[in-house]
Amino acid sequence: MTLRPTVAASATRLSTRVFCHLAQGGIVRGPAFKSQPQQAAGASYFTSKGFSTPSNRSHPRESIRTMATGAAAGPAKRVLVPIGTGSEDMEAVIVIDVLRRAGAEVVVASVEDSLEVKCSRGIKLVADVLMKNVASSETFDLIALPGGMPGAERLRDCAHLASLVAAQKGAGRLYAAICATPAVFLEAQGLIPAGAKATAHPAFSDKLREQGAVSQRVVVDGTLTTSRGPGTAFEFALSLVKQLYGEEKMAAVAGPMVMYPFSV
């Protein structure tokens, strides 16, 4: 779904002060910084004439290589976001949206037998491809797993997805999980490296105690990123943007979304 907001008031300058959790020593901390970065291509933004939105929104369904909504310098980073029945609505949509704003080519894959998936709060999402049709030879810069129940279990029980995530980990490429999924999927499949720090939804933290569970909102340890739930989904997604594209791109994406400074 493409939102086309209109804003009556004009602005002569957009000034944003973005406060995000930055990775330090594996744990995502929160130093504030000021930035007026260049606008991320493909995103809506303020100009002296109001809100401006690029008109090219075409995403041909026949090609999963044309799904990014914002262009990035050089080849787009490829991201796989699997979803299943009961996946957490906000976590799935926020991760997909934020990464596409950054210019990533996000492939949404259903672990079910149909492209349409009903999420945990009843929102229906239409995936780009069935997980079973994602070839084992496909290479992704990031695999990002939303949480939710029973969505986390549906992802865990997809043997093909588990194999892809294991290969991602083994190749030293980025992989991430939020909410119940770090415990229900990653821990259960032995996909959290020994000694690595990780976090999960408070209801599932006990399952991670032997894996060094911590209570930070977003945790980055090597190539693994974990987070806690719907309320941390924007921080989680922006952390993934930072890892894929760098701090400047993260700020460029956060600014037009009006991500005001916050503290936790």
Report pLDDT digits (tens) over 38-53. 334 433 322 223 323 3
- 5, part of any domain: no
Give me the active site residues, please: 179, 201
- 101, part of any domain: yes
Report pLDDT digits (tens) over 173-205. 999 999 999 999 999 999 999 889 999 999 998
What confidence tier does 160 reach under pLDDT thresholds 50, 70, 90?
Answer: very high
The helix-helix angle for 89-101 and 233-245 (nearest 10°) equals 30
- 54, part of any domain: yes
* CA distances from residue 31 to 17, 22, 53, 263 in whole angstroms, order as listed: 12, 7, 31, 9
- 129, part of any domain: yes
Whole-number pLDDT of residue 210: 66
* Domain with 208 in it: 23-254
Higher-pLDDT residue of 216, 71: 216
Nearest to 230 by CA among 149, 134, 133, 136: 149
- List the CATH number of the domain containing 219: 3.40.50.880
- 212, part of any domain: yes
pTM: 0.73
Whole-number pLDDT of residue 106: 98
- 262, part of any domain: no
- 3, part of any domain: no
Report pLDDT digits (tens) over 10-65. 333 333 333 333 333 333 433 332 333 333 443 332 222 332 333 333 333 333 33
Please check whether residue 9 is in contact with residue 46, taking contact to mean a CB–CB distance below 8 angstroms. Answer: no
Domains in the chain, number:
1
